Structure 1
Amino acid sequence: MSIWWSLHLRREAASVPLARRLLLGTMEKAGVDPDISYDLSVALSEACANAVEHGGRAAHPDGAHSCASPGGFQVTAYLDGDMCRIEVADSGPGFPAVGHGHGRPARTPDLDAEHGRGLCLIREIADHASFGNRPGRGGAVVSFDKILKWRTDAPLVSA
């Protein structure tokens, strides 16, 4: 079984639960174990929240950021066999060069910090995660995958 979908979303907070609900609905209908579905929805929410917060600011040569263009972001999900791969790509300034090229957040956030835990959380939830910049087009790409477990009554597995 193979399912995939792609969304182009506005860089607005309301886009995050929309993407999450679509993922959860797809997983439920496919028969994915609810715990795996929940974990992936948390990771997707974190990636989308980062795209909403950081994904539309274009960098200027002087290093300043501009929010003049609201931009958007794209979410693509693939369920292929026993693997789910999710990719969130935005059109913002991307990740700083140091620390992100090898799929790692640049630093571990403080435990009491309000921001900065999303990428670490994605790494903990996913079986594999990578964080990088879109070559030539600008923007960040967060991708992660996880091996799926199925409910015993999964309709698409038994078909």
Structure 2
Amino acid sequence: MAGKKKGNRPGIRRVGRTLAFQVLYSTHFREAENPADMETLFASNPLVQEQESETAVDFARTLIMGVDAKIAELDKAIEENSQHWKIERIANVELSILRLSLYEMLYTDIPVRAAINEAIELSKTFGDEKSRGFVNGILDGVAKSRKK
């Protein structure tokens, strides 16, 4: 059976998730005195405009809009599961990964383990050497509290 080999190309969801992370991360640098809505920020992001896969863009948009709609609940879950860390003290990379992954864990049908694994992959790519453990610890805490 002749077909295209996938090779080392990341899946559409991973591409979309990475794109969503990058857009979320960029929102930390928007102008406070002239805020744009999330749809405008998403659509005007160069990474979104350059993305060839419409499916990846649609998946990223769904994640971004979900995070934006649930940001207060997501931040509350982060603070409840981070020992003595206020949201303001968490680095923007980790905060963006946590918000994205918690949205997937709490509000989508993506399995919790998959959401955590994807968060760890993002932290390996975009964070420093301590990011992975920090992100994993908080997400694991949320997962355990959900089981109770």
The two structures have a TM-score, normalised by structure 1, of: 0.32
Comparing both structures, which one devotes a greater share of its residues to strand? 1
Q: Give the structure with the larger helix fraction.
A: 2
Report the TM-score when normalising by structure 2.
0.33
Higher relative contact order (CA 8 A, sep 6+): 1
